[in-house]
Structure formats: C-alpha cells, structure tokens
Amino acid sequence: MSFAQFSLNNAWLIPMLPFIGFLLIVTFFKRMEKTASTTAIIFSAMSLALALGVVAAIAQRPELIEEPFVRSFRWFSMPGLEISMGMMVDTVAAVMLFVVTLVATMVMIYSTGYMHGDPGYTRFFAYLCLFASSMLGLVIATNLLQMFVFWELVGLCSYLLIGYYYFKDSAREAAKKAFMTTRIGDFGLLLGIVVLQLNLGTLEFTELAEKLPAFAAAKPALLTLIGTLIFIGPIGKSGQFPLHVWLPDAMEGPSPVSALIHAATMVVAGVYLVARLFTLFHVSPEAQHLVAYIGGFTAFFAASIALTQREMKRILAYSTVSQLGYMMMALGVGSLTASMFHLMTHAFFKALMFLAAGSALHALHGTADIFEMGGLRKKMPWTAAFMVIGMLAIAGIPPFAGFWSKDEILLMTKLHGFTDLYILASLTAFMTAFYMSRMVFVAFFGPENPKNHPHESPASMLFPMSVLAVLAVVGGLVGTPWTEHGFGYWVRFGEYHHPEADWTVMGGSVVLAVAGIALAWAIYGAKVIDAEKLKQRTGFLHTLSFRKFFIDEIYQWFNEKIVTGAGKMLYWVDLHIVDGLIDGMAYITGKFGEQLRLTQTGQLQHYALVLVGAIVLLVLLMGIVGADSAMALMGGGR
Amino acid sequence: MGFPLLTIALLAPIIGALILMFVPEDEHRTIKGISAFFTGISLILSLVAYFGYDFALGGYQFVEDLVWIKEIGVTYAMGVDGISLPMLLLTNLIGFSAVFASWNVNKRPKTFFVLLLLLIAGVMGTFISRDLFIFFLFYEVVVIPLYIMVVIWGSTKRVTKEYAGMKLTIYLLIGSAFLLVGVIALYLNAFPVGERTFLIEKLAQAQMSDSFQIFAFLLLLIGFGSLLSMFPFHSWSPDGYAGAPTAVSMIHAGVLKKIGGYGLIRIGLLVLPVGAKFWAPVIAVLAVCNVAYAAMIALAQKDLKYVVGYSSVSHMGYVLIGFAALNVIGINGAIANMFAHGVMSALFFAMIGFVYEKTHTRWIPDMGGLAHQMPRAAIGLMMAGMASLGLPGLVSFIPEFTIFIGAFKVYPVLATICISAIIITALYTLRALANVLFGPRRPEFDQYQDAKGPELVPLVVLGSVLVLAGFFPSLLMDMVNSGVEPMLKPLMDTLNSAPAIGGGF
C-alpha cells in the first residue's frame, strides 16, 4: 500500500495526531518548553504529511470528486435518532486538510520564535495543538452534528487563545465577546440542525445529498427556513455582518493565533460549512441568495471600515472580514470552486500578512498604530518584502495568488447574473487595494520613526513566512483559466465547466487594483494629496468608518441596558412577587397556627367543651346522612 | 437471590455512620478516612452494577425481594434499570466527591460526616427501591440531616443560614405532603383490599380511571415539581444552595433534586400515563419559564452561588420539557440531562466551595484574576462552566441536544425558546467566570494555595466523568435508553390516545 493510499484510509489520524500532541504536552511536558514546542511541530508536520498523502491519493482517484470516501461508526443512538462520527474525504475536504495542516505547522514554527520567553509557552502550544485537532476534526466531519461538535471546540480554542493574555482586561473582554457573538450564530445553527434532523431524519452529508432535492420540491418554504437558520451559524463564525464585531477584537490574541485561527482556518469554517451543505443551498435559491447578499455586503462594509483604521492588526482583521465576505458571496452566486479557491489563496497571503505584522509588532514591542511606525523596511527588509508580497496578492495584482481567485469570484458573480454584486465586489477590490497599500506605505516606507528601534526577526520566524510567501506568489497558478485540469476541475459542484478567460473582468479588476494602490501612494507615499484635509473633507463619512458605524456601541448598549436590565427586573419580580407569594403563604400559615394555638389552653373544661361539641356534631351528621356514610366520612370503615 | 449488591451499597454509608459514632471527635483524619472508605465502597459497587448491567436485556437487574409488611403490601424490593442506574451512579460519584470537598470541615466533623453519610444513603435508597413505600421512607430520611447541616455548617449571605435551611426543609416537606396524599390515593385506588401493594411495577398494571389519574398526577406534579425546582416553586433553590455547606449544595443540586424528575418519570409517567399526558402541556410551559426566566435572573446575580443556583433552576427546565415531550427521545434526554447536570453542578459547587473556603468571598465584584493563584481550581470552574453552557465534548451537550430534538417534535415554539436560552446561559456563565478567574493579578489573593491532595479528588472524579461522557455519549445514552425504550413502548398507545389539557398546544 502506497503512502497516499495509507493516508486516505487513515485520514482520521490527521486530527488525531495533534490531539496526541496536546495530551503529551499537558501531561508530560508542562514544564519542558523546548520539548513541548518540538512535540507540537512534529505532530503537526506528520498531519501535514498525511494531508499531502490524501491530496496525492485523490489525484489518483478522480471518482472521489463526486463520491466522497466515508468511514464512520455509531456515536450514540436511540430509536429515531442515530448519530455517527467518522471521516469523510473528498476534494473539498482535502483542500482544507492541506491548508489547515500547512498553516498550523508554519505558525507553530513561527511561534517558537515569537513566543520565546513567554511564561505560558507550553500552554500556548497545547492550545494550538488542541485547536489544530478540533479544526481538522471539523474538516473531515461526516455529518452536521459532528461538524457542530468540532465547530464549538474550535470556538473554545479561539476563546482560550484570544484570552491567552488573561491578565489583561481587554483580552478577557475580547475573548468573551468572541464566544458570545459566535454563540448567537450557534443558536441559529443548532436550531437549524434540529429542524433538519426532524424533517429529513438524518444529518449525514451523503444522505442529505440524496434526500434534499425531493424535499426541496415538496417543501421549499421550510427548506428556505432551514437554510437561513443554518446560515446564522456561519454568519457568526465567519464574521459576516451583523455578527462581525468579535473578529477585530479577537486581535487581542498573540499574532500567530490571529494568523492561524482568525485569518486562515477557523474563521473560514463558516464558509466551509456552507460549502459542505452546498447540496442544501443549491436547491434552496432563496437561502442561497441570502448567502450571496450577506457576503457581498460584508465584503464591502468591512472594507469601508478598514479604510480609516490605524492599528495594523485591526486593518488586517477588517480585511479578513471583507475577504470572508467574498468567499461567502462566491458560494451564494453558486460557485463552490471560486469560494474554495479564494479560501486557499487567502489562507496563504493573509496568514503571511499576519505573521509579518506579528514580526513588526514583535520588533516594536507593542506599538500597534501604523502612523507611529514608518520606514520599517530599512531595518526589517525581509518582513517588509513579505508584507509587500501579501499586499500585492490581496490587492489582486497578477500573477500573485489573490488575483486568480478574486478574478474567479468576480467572473462567476457576473456570469451568474448578479450584476449588482459584481459592481459592489469590484468597488471592494478597489478599496482593498487602497487600504492595504496605505498600511504598507505608512508602516514600512517613508521616514523612520526615531522612537522605534526595530530589528529583523530570527530565522525561526522568517522561514515559515518565506514558505507562505512563495505560495502567495505562485499558489494561484493552479487555477488560472489556462490551467488544464486545474483547481476547478478537482474542486467543484456538479458538471465541470472550464472557465473562459474574460478579459473585461480581468482587465477591470487589475485597473481597479492599480488605481487603489496609486491613490494610496498619492496620499501616503508621495503625499500629493493631504491626508488631513481629506479627512476633514469627508468629515461624517470618515467618523462613521473610523468608529465602525457605531455597531459595537449599539450592541453594548443593548447588552447592558436591555438584557441585563431585564435580568435585574426579573430578579426583583422573583424576590418580591414569586417568592413573596410563597413567603406570604407561610406567613398566613404561621398566623393561622398562632390562632390555633389559642385553643391549646391546657384547661380541662375547654377540652371537654370541644369534645361535647364534636359529639353533638357527629350525631347531627349521622341523623342527616345516615350512620354508615358518616362513619365513612370520618375515615372509618368496615 | 444472588449477591445483594444494592443492599450492600446502600448499607455501606450507614455502617460508616455507625462506626463514626465510636470515633473520638478530635480524630479528624480518621473520621474523614472512614467516610471516604465507605462512600468509596458504594461508588465501586455502583460501578460494578454499571459494568455488570446487561443493556441488551434491559429491565430491572440486581433485583432483591423481601416481603416486609405483608398486611399492607410493603416489600423491601430493590433493583436498578436504565433509569435508576444512572441516578445510583450519580449519587455515589457525588457522594464520594462530597466527602473530599468537605476535607477541611473542622467544626464538629464527627456529626457532620455522620449526617453526610446518612444523607447519601437516603438519596441512594430512593433511587434503588422498587417499592413506593420504601421510596417514600428514604425520601423522608433525607430531610433531617439536610436541615441540620445547613443550619450548623451553612453560611449566611443574602439570607441567614437558618432561613435557608428552613426554606429548603419546608419546601421539601410541603412537596412531600402532596406526595404523601398522592401516594396513598394511588395505593388505595389501584387495587381492592387484600391485593394492595406498594410495588411500582404492580401499580403500573392497575386499571385506574382517567379522572383519578389526572387528579393523582397533579398531586405528584406539585410534590415532585417543587423538589425539581419547577417554576413557580423554585425559589428555595438559590437561597438554599447559597446557605448550605459545600457538600450539601453538591448533593442537593447534584442528586437530591433529581428525585423530582426521577419520580415524575418512574411514578408519574409509568403508573399514571393518562395523567401525565393531560398535564404535559402545562409542564412544558412551566419548563420554558424555568429555562428562560431563571437564566435571565442568573444574569443579574453577584454571588457566585446564586449564579449557579439560578442556573440549576434553568437547567431543570430542560429536564421538564424533555419529560413533557413524552416521547422516547425527549425522556432519554431528560434522564441523561439529570445525570449531566448532576455531575456538572456538583463540580461547580465543589470548586466554588473550595475558592470560598480560601478567600471567604463569593461576591463576584470582589474577585478576579484567580487563575493566577489557583490554576487548578480555575480549570475545574472552567470545565463546569463550559459544561453548563452545553459545550460539545462535555457531558451535557448530547443530553440537551436530545431534549431539543424530542421537545421540538411536540412543542416547536416552546422548544425554540429553550434553545435560544443557550445564548443567555453562555452570557451569565462566561461573565461570572471571566470576572472571577481572569483579569489582573490581585495581590490580596497571593497568600492562598491552589487545590492539592484530597482537595483535588472532586475535580478529578467529576471532571473525568464530564469529559468521558462527553466524548463517548453512548456510555450514558445506551444505559438510559435501555430503560426508557422498554418502559415507554407499552405506554405509547395510551399516551397517543389520551387527551391533553386544552387539547394540547
């Protein structure tokens, strides 16, 4: 048996290995820093090797494009409810396996340098292993409940890692916010899962694929409802509007975490879930349109916020939200290929940018504002080069990876008749090129800030970045319109259509990207246009963008005043009305008892009186209802 | 009759209590060691019962029958099935942990541990007896140690410990008054003189009129409902737990209140199916009040024990709506969730008790950053909290999911409200945990040591159950289903044809 075949048959090892790594670290290597990080890297690299094996195995077996490779066992069951766990590998899963294991391994190598000397070093690597394991478990899920289980576990890891610096109030709050916001999405998802299970009797992806078309024909409205409920989950997880608020705050976590979890892997879980349920969204046009428009709007909206932000990681975070919107939109307009392609290239260049940002922040000891940086390229040439590569990729300059995938999305949006979204997405592409080059020009070019003493990062940090940089340059070549049997042949839904190159779309997006970069250069590089004046000129719009449309403030108000206020009010009701009623009854009983006590006088004549009275009553009763019934009433009997 | 496994498990703590009477009061270590030993025996025996139980066969196993009072039909009848076995296991897991959670009780320890052992035996007896009379007897046995323990070893916060103890006891007694009437009515109505019996499985075969069933079930519902902290009879729960010492909070929230849910299923549903069906919609509505209302109130709490107290009320709503669904999936979920909540709340109270013992505060605004000084206790609190908010991979997710499936079938709107409460649950749990554990280091807590030695036993025992049953839910669900499925099958026709109040809604 070849290694490829072995990898496919034992794909469950891919999530299992990092989990073993996690167990080893928490049980044995808690105080052995070097051993802990080496363990994490080795186990993660073994997963990467297996993931590559899976990719190779699939390349030999094109039938897996249509027929996923499934192995599962019974997890628990009762009459009417059977849930299994297992592994399901097809091309979509293989792409994710490769991306997750690759980025995880690179980030772990990077972290040996970045986290060096941190008191929680081993804890950090343990969390990373747990995260990698959960994320990979999510990827190979055979059914929706298994996916939900790992979905929540990656959420837990995200919570723990955002709050990694738990002694900081801001980190603590950000972690809580991330958990809560995604929890709102999970409520919708869980409800959707329950309704789906009750109506179709299964949550297995393969069985759903068979049953859904008939169900869609019979009950289209119900299916739209299910699709919408389920989509609330991805809205939360993948930071779509209006639940995007947690992702920028999640930057409180260490930079490697931002690269791994909040750029390349966990946040795309929502995209992956929709892709996994493409059979559902495909037959429910209303739900699918919702996906398209939420995605398109999020892409535009987040980019409009990123235009004015000042913190490096926050700019990157809003850009992530925006790019996730692209991926969602691609699914919504019906192109699984474009979405997964962009997911992959985005993982390369966004992880690269976050690691480069981490490298810069590491060197500057916590200066986050790009306007306090300046000229970093002189002291940090490698980091600057990596950042520029990332910027060119995300801006969509050919032949960098982002160009091909973004082009595919724009093309599909236009081809499938979503002209409005096509225009919106093109505008977003322009803004993306602008704010990304703004960040690069301000932080890495121009005069150096004399207050800073930057230095280039060690090789342990530069090596993983260079791997990602290579992929950010050439990674898109697997899916150009001129590639025979390229990405789109392998990762697709339904029949294979080889896309023809559309020169207007391609040319248009390049022009917009170049224009965005040029504008940013004019303002922040050459300073032909005065930034301050521009800020005053745009006044209200600038404030709106800079203050993120005040959405955080609205949520905070709602949470503090409405929700907590209602809790306080109900507590009052509980203390004074519900409990008061019961206490009142006790009080009445007590009073009654006091009155009753007065009868216990201890004087014989009183008792005699009562006795005589009772006999009289009894005789009267016998006279009225008859002796037998009276006896029965008094509790006697024969 | 073979080896009387259940009787020995039941007698172990009682024998332990008897031995303790002869130990001098100042031999603290011996007292605690003896208590741990005898609760340990019960725990091992209930594990033996779990592994020895034949799930494929189902029904009552480890049966013991001994006619006690022939004239009125009382039998010392013991046995466990898929419904009582998880409760037996839960009782002893928590009982054993509670002994270690009380390791630092140094005020009159002899009396404390005697009462604790009697409490554990009493609770265990209710779950393993198949005779209603014996069930009731053990239920009453529980009240006495409970009251004394709260009043002597409790703590006074919002309410005095005397008030808390009294409230706890009065609710138990009022509940048991309704139960007593219900039980006697059931006994008299089921069979004519001479054939009368308290055996539950016999009572279940009796032909009782619909109107009687509806009446008797209402009595049981009030009795068991107030024990299960069903709205509006729930207010004892937060006050009571807050006043009680750690071990009592653990046992009460963990298992004792589960007698309510257990009784509703074992006696209410099995013996009075028509009555259960009639009142089910009312239970479902009250259940939603429990879930949503108590969760909202938990948001406003500042005392850590009150947060968990209201949270426990909220979680019992899940049990109730699972019960009210009256289908196999819902009832499976209800029983499994009683187990899940028991483990989780016992761990929660154990950890809170530990932290309180050191810092002498449970007032959330006064706490913070405890993860610095007490990382192990922090792990325990995090695990309990994450289980409370239904995180998959921990014990309570699958039971809750099962309940949602079962309940949504029958009450889609009410079930949706219940599911939405997972948001509020996460909110109050995370808020409390974040404010207690995380944030800047507080130097005033630097003098306190983390949990170690015997103090770690509750964390290890309950924590491993939490994870094990979370990753392998069939360990729990198969056991429960082996009891629920055969019990419900013969009842299904009755349940489907009987009317519900207001025609159901």
- pLDDT score, position B218: 92
Give the closest of A149, A179, A190 to B393, CB-based: A149
Per-residue pLDDT band at B505 (split at 50, 70, 90): very low
Contacts of B404 in chain A (CB under 8 A): 190, 194
| B56 within domain boundaries | yes
Answer yes or no: do A186 and B478 touch at CB < 8 A: no
Residue window 30-89, chain A: list those with CB within 8 Å of chain B: 74-81
What's the 3-state SS for B34-52?
Answer: HHHHHHHHHHHHHHHHHHH
Whether the bond between A119 and the residue before it is cis, its omega within 30 degrees of 0, is no
Q: Which pLDDT value is given to residue A637?
A: 40
The answer to whether residue A551 neighbours chain B at the CB level (below 8 Å) is: no
What is the per-residue pLDDT for A46? 94
pLDDT number for residue A102? 95
Nearest chain A residue (CA) to B373: A167
Return the pLDDT at A599: 67
Contact B404 A190 (CB under 8 A): yes
pLDDT band at B114 (very low <50, low <70, confident <90, very high): very high
Q: Give which of A41, A233, A13, A276 is closest to A139, Cα–Cα.
A: A276
A281 and A209 Cβ atoms separated by less than 8 Å: no
Nearest Cβ partner of A152 from B233, B391, B405? B391
Distance of CA A326 to the CA centre of its chain: 15
Please state, in angstroms and rounded to a whole number, the distance separating the CA atoms of residues B308 and A580: 22
Partners of residue A187 in chain B, C-beta under 8 Å: 419-420, 422-423
Report the predicted TM-score, pTM, of the whole model to 2 decimal places.
0.91
The pLDDT of B488-494, averaged and rounded, is 86
Q: Residues B131-143: what's their mean pLDDT?
A: 88
Looking at chain A, which residue has its C-alpha nearest residue B409? A198
β-pair type (A81-89, B61-69): unpaired
Beta-carbon separation of B297 and A175 below 8 A: no
Amino acid at site A421? L
Containing structural domain, residue B357: 5-496
Taking an 8 Å cut-off on Cβ atoms, the answer to whether B235 and A582 are in contact is yes
Contacts of A167 in chain B (CB under 8 A): 369, 372, 438-441
Q: Which of A563, A570, A586 has its CB closest to that of B297?
A: A570
Which residues fall within 8 angstroms of residue A137, CB to CB, at 6 or more apart? Answer: A15, A146, A149, A150, A153
Question: Looking at chain A from residue 555 to 594, which residues have their Cβ under 8 Å from any Cβ of chain B?
Answer: 559, 563-564, 566-568, 570-571, 574, 578-579, 581-582, 586
Percent of chain B with pLDDT over 90: 58
Return d(Cα B492, Cα B505) in angstroms, integer.
19
**Angstroms from A455 CA to nearest CA on chain B:** 30
Size of interface A-B (CB pairs under 8 A): 137
Choose between B294 and A628: higher pLDDT. Answer: B294
Using a CB-CB cut-off of 8 Å, the residues of chain B touching A163 are 434, 438
What letter represents residue A636's amino acid? Answer: G
Backbone angles phi, psi at B330, to 5 degrees: -65, -45
Residue to mutate among A131, A150, A194, A572, with most B CBs inside 10 A, is A194
b/e code A201-236 from CB counts within 10 Å (16+ = b): ebbbbbebbeebeebbeeeeeebbbbbbbbbbbbbb
Using the Cβ of A23 and the Cβ atoms of chain B, whether some distance falls under 8 Å is answered with no
Query: Is residue B148 situated within a structural domain?
Result: yes
Question: At residue B413, does pLDDT exceed 90?
Answer: yes
Q: How far is A75 from chain B (nearest CA, A)?
A: 6
Cβ contact B434–A190 (<8 Å): no
Residue of chain B with shortest Cα separation from A169: B439
Strands (E), A140-231: none
Write out residues in chain A with pLDDT < 50, as ranges: 636-638
Which residues of chain B does A145 touch, with a Cβ-Cβ cutoff of 8 Å?
401
Residue B502 lies in a domain: no
**Gap from A211 CA to chain B (nearest CA, Å):** 20
Residue B173 contacts residue B268 (beta carbons within 8 Å): no
User: Do the domain assignments include residue B37?
Assistant: yes
Q: Are the beta carbons of B405 and A198 separated by less than 8 Å?
A: yes
- Which of B188, B233, B235, B395 has the highest number of chain A CBs within 10 A, making it the mutation to test binding with A? B235
Retrieve residue A422's tokens: 């096509």
Residue B330 has pLDDT above 90, yes or no: yes
Q: Is pLDDT of B366 > 90? A: no
Domain-located, residue B135 = yes
- Name the residue with higher pLDDT: B451 or A356: A356
Rounded to the nearest angstrom, the minimum Cα separation between A542 and chain B is 33
CB contacts of B484 in chain A (<8 Å) are 78
Inter-axis angle of helices B236-243 and B161-190, nearest 10: 130
Chain A residues 165-224 with CB within 8 Å of chain B: 166-169, 171-173, 175-176, 179-180, 183-184, 186-187, 190-191, 194-195, 197-198
Q: Which chain A residues are within 8 Å of B398, Cβ to Cβ?
A: 76
pLDDT at B151 over 90: no
DSSP 8-state symbol, A71? E
Whether residue A586 and residue B170 make contact (CB cut-off 8 A), yes or no, is yes
- The minimal CB distance from B299 to the residues A172, A175, A563 is found for A563
Put simply, whether A123 touches B (Cβ < 8 Å) is: no
pLDDT attached to residue B220: 92
Which DSSP symbol is given to A72? E
Which one of B159, B391, B411, B414 makes the best mutation probe of the A interface by having the most chain A beta carbons within 10 Å?
B391
Q: For residues B43-64, b (16+ Cβ closer than 10 Å) or e, as one string?
A: bebbeebeeebeeeebebbbeb
- Is pLDDT of B417 > 70? yes
The band of B464, judged by pLDDT with boundaries at 50, 70 and 90, is very high
Residue in chain B closest to A569 (alpha carbons) equals B297
From A151, which residue of chain B is nearest by alpha-carbon distance? B392
**B194 assigned to some structural domain:** yes
- Subunit contact A153:B393, Cβ cutoff 8 A: yes
Q: What is the DSSP string of A532-556?
A: HHHHHHHHHHHHHHHTGGGHHHHHH
Give yes or no for residue B503 having a pLDDT over 60.
no
pLDDT of amino acid A628: 59
Mean pLDDT, to the nearest integer, of B311-325?
94
Return the pLDDT at A43. 94
* Cβ–Cβ below 8 Å for A570 and B478: no
